[in-house]
Chains A and B, each alone.
Chain A
Amino acid sequence: DAKTTQPNSMESNEEEPVHLPCNHSTISGTDYIHWYRQLPSQGPEYVIHGLTSNVNNRMASLAIAEDRKSSTLILHRATLRDAAVYYCILRDRGSGTYKYIFGTGTRLKVLA
């Protein structure tokens, strides 16, 4: 299974940037890197995805290492509403089907 490794928790002050790292050394050549976040008692919410190049959208930026074995989700200005568990996910291409396996995620705490 394609696996990801993330720190269990991180803290950030409000209005400051946050860099959430993810290691995925077993990534396959055509696997996209997806990031989702989950607020308490809700389903995960899509944040951003990328393949090789860095990506930006209104929510965040995604920086992908040149060897694609790691990536970093960047929240430019953390707000209290960004407190959530952030998951970095790869598609698992085992058995010819695409499965999305969640790791433990990073619980982000934003301090006012």
Chain B
Amino acid sequence: GAVVSQHPSWVICKSGTSVKIECRSLDFQATTMFWYRQFPKQSLMLMATSNEGSKATYEQGVEKDKFLINHASLTLSTLTVTSAHPEDSSFYICSARSGYQSGELFFGEGSRLTVL
């Protein structure tokens, strides 16, 4: 099946620094990718829809200047958490939509961010 890979799988950073998370579709082209955030014991919350070659679409309440998304190619989307603070600590998960009519999503392994 299709594979989506995230890197890094975990990262620890100091407060105030920026962290970049990469999401790659390994064996298919993804014009649309989605970024989710998940806090402990909670469901996945959609942060933004990443569109190749255009600006991302952010969900209400998600700061676009804090969570920078770049989808420069059909196989790579990046999420940069700028000036990270402890409250940004979370599990970040990306997904890519398959080209099938049914539109299944393929998810990355997730990236756990801990901000000290």
Chain A residues engaging chain B, CB cutoff 8 angstroms: 32, 34, 36, 38, 41-46, 49, 51, 85, 87, 91, 97-105
CA distance A99 to B97 in the complex (A): 10
- Contact B104 A43, beta carbon cutoff 8 Å: no
The answer to whether residues A101 and B46 also contact, given A34-B105, A46-B104, A46-B105 and a CB cut-off of 8 A, is yes
Selected contact of B91 from candidates A41, A45, A98, CB within 8 Å: A41
- Report whether over half of chain B's contact residues are helix, strand or loop; otherwise say mixed: strand
- Contact A41 B112, beta carbon cutoff 8 Å: yes
- Contact B107 A43, beta carbon cutoff 8 Å: yes
Beyond the given pairs A36-B105, A44-B95, A91-B103, 7 more chain A to chain B contacts, judged by CB atoms under 8 angstroms and listed by A's residue number, are: A32-B102, A34-B102, A34-B104, A41-B110, A43-B6, A97-B49, A103-B43
CA distance A104 to B38 in the complex (A): 11
CA distance A43 to B93 in the complex (A): 6
- Contact A42 B34, beta carbon cutoff 8 Å: no
A-B contact count (CB 8 A): 60
**Closest CB in chain B relative to A51 CB, distance in Å:** 7
CA distance A41 to B105 in the complex (A): 18
User: What chain B residues lie within 8 Å of A34 (beta carbons)?
Assistant: 102, 104-105
What is the number of residues of chain B that contact chain A, defined by CB distance less than 8 Å? 26
User: What chain B residues lie within 8 Å of A32 (beta carbons)?
Assistant: 102-103
- Contact B103 A98, beta carbon cutoff 8 Å: yes
Selected contact of A104 from candidates B6, B34, B43, B109, CB within 8 Å: B43
The answer to whether residues A99 and B107 also contact, given A41-B112, A49-B102, A51-B102 and a CB cut-off of 8 A, is no
CB nearest neighbor in B for A105: B43
10 contacting pairs across A/B (C-beta < 8 A): A32-B102, A42-B110, A43-B93, A46-B1, A46-B105, A46-B107, A87-B44, A100-B46, A102-B44, A102-B45
